[in-house]
Amino acid sequence: MDSIICEEFRKPIKPKSRGSIKFQNNDPLKIVLANEGFLQDPDDLESVKNIFKVYIKGIAEQLAAIDPKYQLVTPSVSQIDDDEQLEEYIKQNFGHNHHQQSSLRMAPLNKGGVVDSKGRVHGVKNLIVADASIIPFTVDGNTGAPAFMIGLTIANQIIESSIGSSK
């Protein structure tokens, strides 16, 4: 029998949940404790549930209308229709897709930021970060191009400021 198995699904692009990173001690080589905080905000869970209720179910229905052999196998339609089972399915199958960002968010310190608009770490002299970790808000697409753009912009700023200070 032909079947549709939904193993991967798009995560909410603008999640409200917030993760955290904790240093264990002063040793910079000691791995930090990271909690990505997936689905901690109930609105995020609702968004993902709606992906199944609206899109996945809708696509399956359209395919079945073309050829009844196509049936949604996992999650099943009955799982999708049962809120508790759907939540369980989502929690068991949720994961990231290698586009971590914003762990050192560019924002004012009192708004949870770590670096200022030039990538300088708040409260630390001469420490500049220029990578995907400073992205202020989750980008809607892949993170490679924003990382290049951040690297280029901050490198140019450093060059300009060193030229300015040598005059």
Contact set with ligand FAD (CB under 6 A): 98-99, 131-133, 142-145, 147
Q: Which is nearer to ligand FAD, 47 or 143 (CB)?
A: 143
Q: Which is nearer to ligand FAD, 51 or 139 (CB)?
A: 139
- How far CA 142 is from CA of 13, 56, 100, 106, in Å, comes to 11, 23, 10, 18
Q: Which is nearer to ligand FAD, 64 or 121 (CB)?
A: 121
Q: Catalytic site residue 99?
A: yes
Q: How far is the CB of 132 from ligand FAD (least distance, A)?
A: 3
Q: How far is the CB of 115 from ligand FAD (least distance, A)?
A: 13
Residue facing ligand FAD at closest CB distance: 144
> Which residues carry out catalysis?
99
